[in-house]
Amino acid sequence: MGDLSRINSSHATITGELIDGQTIELARSEIKISPNDFLKLGFTVPKGLKTLTLELRCVLKPSSPRTQALTLKTKKNIPVTAEPNTEEIAHHYFYKNQNNDWLLQCLGRNGEPWPNQNLAISFTHNQFHSPITLYLKTDQDGKLI
């Protein structure tokens, strides 16, 4: 792997192409590139999304006093799977947010939020005799209320 200390700045942009041909910007952020890290860039999936495009842009510091800064760009198109016609498919994600709080979110197969979903959540512990079950509902972002 090359020397990452030459990176002066880096940005990520995610755009989406909708089924009707419209292109919209979903996210844009300054990012830090490191050898063993994930790109964390959140966005809401719009209805009718056909294709995602991820663009990364980095500006490298000059390698010597006689050279200029160098801008590097790359793009990746990611096709989005069409919504299933028969059975709805959702996944539940348990993660920590930026405030270090734990969240449970219900998202569809393309990352779209599933609002107003009724969920039965059961908790168990090796010292409990029976599980504790809570009945909860997701909000408009697919997060538990």
Quote the CA–CA distance of 91 and 112 in Å, as a whole number. 10
Sorted by sequence, the CB contacts under 8 Å of residue 89 that are 6+ apart come out as: 108, 109
Q: How many CB atoms lie within 10 A of CB 84?
A: 10
Between 82 and 118, residue with greater pLDDT: 118
Local structure of 59: helix, strand or coil: strand
Residue 30: what residue type? E
Which residues in the chain belong to E strands, given as ranges?
7-18, 23-30, 49-60, 70-79, 90-96, 102-108, 118-123, 132-137
pLDDT at 29 over 70: yes
Task: Tally the residues of the chain.
Answer: 145
Q: Residue 33: pLDDT above 50?
A: yes
The pLDDT tens digits of the residues spanning 44-80 come to 888 888 889 999 999 989 888 898 988 999 999 988 7
Looking at per-residue pLDDT, the higher value among 81 and 50 belongs to 50
pLDDT digits 0-9 by tens, 86-98: 455 677 778 777 7
* Over residues 2-12, mean pLDDT: 84
Residue scoring higher pLDDT (14 or 49):
14
The pLDDT of residue 22 is: 93
pLDDT value of residue 3: 73
The share of the chain scoring above pLDDT 70, in percent, equals 90
Contact 106, 114 (CB under 8 A): yes
Amino acid 86: pLDDT: 45
CA atoms within 13 A on the CB side of 61: 9
